[in-house]
């Protein structure tokens, strides 16, 4: 059976990781996959996670099956983190959360759930979007269409284009929106723009699917959830896919959550039964370890406060790197305006160079970024930014 298979190219993001690891140049810089790195270029385990892990080792009494929903404490804590303590959908008991294997698992569950609502449904994604969104949704049998989002020429949002496209969407389509820290552009909607998008969602009646993989990496935990919370107030039905990979640094634990909001407590219970049957036939039940760590942190005042501080350190370092790179480019005689990088948020920005220049940076300088010139800003450090700016200057 395997004989008919043709080899596929490596994943555009994960493939870079392997190449970077093999590179022996001591000056190599990894701006590829979206993982947080400290000044030393390391992705260490958060202190609050270490403590939660110790607590779990000391107190865990069983490894028995957890069930398709996952841990209810984790699910409740995640819902409060996403919506805030006092959101209407929580007060009205209209949200149901399941733990999932990472944010990707949440998206796949959401896609299969949408298919259960309507076979062959269309989901609209931003142009551009995370490289895995399209493949993931198509693999679940959805039709993927795009709405304009990032204007590469002006390094800004094509908001008029976005709004015009969303007004044309059908009422029984789904629309994927990045809640914050847009991946790959770093260009987020303003408060006013979220208000307009929420108005259109309400008017048209499409179902928003909010992908929140970077809560806390942009402006702050509440600020980053503004658009999502507003949208949840405006529409009757919505899906949220969230991830603990980045903000808890739990990348390899694979823990995220899929939350559905229904029109009423009764209708969301019916929908939830479908969601659970979707989970059962894909992976049966989510992994428990990451969820146990997150629930331990979020339900302890001490660990939660420690997490806030560690998250702020990560956020501040990334935002500082944005300014640092722009300053160093100027210092190295680059006259092209890169100041847009400081107006973007989260882990990524497009540098805005050609695929050939991206390849040249990789081949000649061992600097790795995605072919679209998406840079993971966390890979910049005081010790490599001069070399990075000089190399970019040469390639330009
Ligand atoms: C990224 O976009 O680099 C991250 O979300 C990691 C991934 O799985 O692609």
Q: What is the pLDDT of residues 187-212, one digit of tens each?
A: 999 999 999 999 999 999 999 999 99
The CA distances from residue 309 to 21, 282, 335, 377, in Å, are: 31, 36, 37, 20
- Please report the atom of ligand 1 found closest to the CA of residue 132: 9
The beta strands (E) that lie in the chain are given as 29-30, 95-100, 122-127, 143-148, 150-151, 156-157, 174-178, 207-212, 238-243, 256-261, 348-350, 367-368, 374-376
| Residue at a domain's end among 299, 330, 357 | 299
Let me know: does 99 contact 71? Beta carbons within 8 Å: yes
58 domain-assigned? no
- Residue 323 pLDDT > 90: yes
Q: Which of 132, 211, 249, 374 to mutate to test the pocket of ligand 1 (most atoms within 8 A of CB)?
A: 132
Phi then psi for 232, rounded to 5 degrees?
-65, -25
Q: What is the pLDDT of residue 12?
A: 87
57 domain-assigned? no
Q: Is the CB of 33 under 6 A from ligand 1?
A: yes
Judgement on whether residues 295 and 319 belong to the same structural domain of the protein: no
292 domain-assigned? yes
- Please report the atom of ligand 1 found closest to the CA of residue 184: 2
Q: Is the CB of 369 under 6 A from ligand 1?
A: no
Q: Which of 40, 77, 100 is nearest to 286 (CA)?
A: 100
Q: Is 130 a catalytic residue?
A: yes
Q: Is 124 a catalytic residue?
A: no
Q: Which of 373, 394, 247, 379 is nearest to 324 (CA)?
A: 379
Q: Is the CB of 122 under 6 A from ligand 1?
A: no
Judgement on whether residues 241 and 373 belong to the same structural domain of the protein: no
Let me know: does 181 contact 162? Beta carbons within 8 Å: no
Q: How far does the centroid of ligand 1 lie from the alpha carbon of residue 183, in Å?
A: 9
Q: How far does the centroid of ligand 1 lie from the alpha carbon of residue 43, in Å?
A: 15
Judgement on whether residues 38 and 70 belong to the same structural domain of the protein: no
Which residues 6+ apart lie within 8 Å of 249 measured at CB?
A: 36, 43, 44, 45, 46, 49
Tell me the DSSP string of 70-132.
--HHHHHHHHHHHH-TT-HHHHTT-EEEEEESHHHHHHHHHHHHHHHHSTT-EEEEEES--HH
Mean of the per-residue pLDDT values of the chain: 97
| Residue at a domain's end among 274, 299, 324 | 299
Q: Which of 13, 180, 347 to mutate to test the pocket of ligand 1 (most atoms within 8 A of CB)?
A: 13
Phi-psi region of 232 (alpha: psi -120 to 50; beta: other; left: phi over 0): alpha
CATH number of the domain residue 382 falls in: 3.90.1150.10
- Which range marks the domain in which residue 358 is found? 11-45+315-395
| Residue at a domain's end among 271, 299, 327 | 299
CA distance 134 to 252: 22
Tell me the DSSP string of 131-182.
HHHHHHHHHTT-EEEEEE-EETTTTEE-HHHHHHHHHTS-TT-EEEEE-SS-
Q: What is the pLDDT of residue 364?
A: 98
Q: Above pLDDT 70, what percent of the chain?
A: 100
Judgement on whether residues 266 and 339 belong to the same structural domain of the protein: no
Q: Is the CB of 214 under 6 A from ligand 1?
A: no
Q: How far does the centroid of ligand 1 lie from the alpha carbon of residue 34, in Å?
A: 5
Let me know: does 12 contact 373? Beta carbons within 8 Å: no
| pLDDT tens string 219-270 | 999 999 999 999 999 999 999 999 999 999 999 999 999 999 999 999 999 9
371 domain-assigned? yes
Q: What is the mean pLDDT of residues 125-138?
A: 97
CA distance 185 to 188: 8
Which residues 6+ apart lie within 8 Å of 295 measured at CB?
A: 71, 73, 74, 77
Q: What is the mean pLDDT of residues 14-32?
A: 95
Judgement on whether residues 137 and 250 belong to the same structural domain of the protein: yes
pTM of the model: 0.96
Residue having the nearest C-alpha atom to atom 5 of ligand 1 = 34
Let me know: does 261 contact 83? Beta carbons within 8 Å: no
Judgement on whether residues 39 and 187 belong to the same structural domain of the protein: no
Judgement on whether residues 109 and 39 belong to the same structural domain of the protein: no
Q: How far does the centroid of ligand 1 lie from the alpha carbon of residue 279, in Å?
A: 22
Q: Above pLDDT 90, what percent of the chain?
A: 98
**Number of structural domains the chain divides into:** 2
101 domain-assigned? yes
Q: How confident is the model at residue 295 (pLDDT cuts 50, 70, 90)?
A: very high
159 domain-assigned? yes
6 domain-assigned? no
210 domain-assigned? yes
User: Which of the residues 28, 246, 307, 328 is marked catalytic?
Assistant: 246
Judgement on whether residues 320 and 260 belong to the same structural domain of the protein: no
Let me know: does 265 contact 258? Beta carbons within 8 Å: no
User: Which of the residues 30, 51, 130, 194 is marked catalytic?
Assistant: 130
CA distance 386 to 77: 42
- Residue 8 pLDDT > 90: yes
CATH number of the domain residue 139 falls in: 3.40.640.10
Residue having the nearest C-alpha atom to atom 9 of ligand 1 = 13
| pLDDT tens string 46-102 | 999 999 999 999 999 999 999 999 999 999 999 999 999 999 999 999 999 999 999
Q: Which of 324, 254, 264 is nearest to 289 (CA)?
A: 254
Q: Is 246 a catalytic residue?
A: yes
Let me know: does 239 contact 260? Beta carbons within 8 Å: yes
Q: Is the CB of 368 under 6 A from ligand 1?
A: no
Judgement on whether residues 384 and 350 belong to the same structural domain of the protein: yes
Judgement on whether residues 223 and 135 belong to the same structural domain of the protein: yes
Strands 122-127 and 143-148: parallel
Q: Is the CB of 183 under 6 A from ligand 1?
A: yes
Judgement on whether residues 40 and 159 belong to the same structural domain of the protein: no
Q: Is the CB of 132 under 6 A from ligand 1?
A: yes
Judgement on whether residues 176 and 213 belong to the same structural domain of the protein: yes
């Amino acid at each position: 059976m395997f004989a008919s298979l043709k080899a596929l190219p490596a994943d555009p993001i994960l493939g870079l990781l392997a190449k970077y690891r093999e590179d022996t140049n001591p000056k190599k810089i990894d701006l590829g996959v979206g993982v947080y790195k400290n000044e030393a270029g390391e992705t260490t385990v958060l202190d609050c996670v270490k403590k939660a892990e110790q607590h779990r080792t000391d107190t865990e009494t069983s490894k028995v099956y957890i069930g398709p929903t996952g841990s209810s404490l984790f699910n409740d804590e995640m819902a409060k983190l996403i919506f805030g303590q006092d959101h209407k959908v929580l007060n009205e008991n209209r949200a149901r959360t399941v733990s999932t294997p990472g944010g990707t698992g949440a998206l796949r569950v959401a896609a299969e759930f949408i298919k259960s609502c309507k076979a062959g449904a269309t989901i609209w994604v931003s142009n551009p979007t995370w490289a895995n969104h399209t493949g993931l949704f198509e693999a679940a049998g959805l039709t993927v269409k795009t709405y304009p989002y990032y204007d590469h020429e002006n390094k800004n949002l094509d908001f008029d284009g976005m709004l015009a496209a969303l007004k044309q969407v059908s009422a029984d389509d789904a629309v994927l929106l990045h809640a914050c820290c847009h991946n790959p552009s770093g260009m987020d909607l303003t408060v006013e723009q979220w208000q307009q998008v929420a108005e259109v969602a309400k008017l048209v009646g499409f179902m928003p699917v909010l992908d929140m993989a970077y809560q806390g990496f942009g402006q702050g935990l509440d600020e980053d959830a503004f658009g999502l919370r507003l949208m949840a107030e405006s529409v009757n039905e919505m899906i949220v896919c969230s991830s603990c990979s980045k903000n808890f640094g739990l990348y390899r634990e694979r823990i995220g959550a899929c939350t559905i909001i229904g029109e009423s407590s009764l209708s969301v219970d019916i929908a939830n039964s479908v969601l659970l049957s979707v989970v059962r036939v894909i992976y049966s039940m989510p992994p428990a370890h990451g969820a146990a760590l997150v629930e331990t942190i979020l339900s302890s005042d001490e660990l939660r406060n420690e997490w806030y501080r560690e998250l702020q350190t990560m956020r501040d370092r990334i935002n500082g790197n944005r300014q640092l790179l722009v300053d160093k480019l100027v210092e190295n005689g680059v006259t092209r305006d890169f100041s847009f990088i400081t107006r973007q948020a989260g882990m990524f920005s497009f540098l805005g160079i050609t695929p050939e220049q991206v390849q040249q940076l990789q081949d000649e300088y061992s600097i790795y970024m995605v072919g679209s010139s998406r840079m993971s800003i966390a890979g910049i450090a005081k010790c490599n930014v001069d070399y990075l700016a000089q190399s970019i200057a040469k390639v330009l």
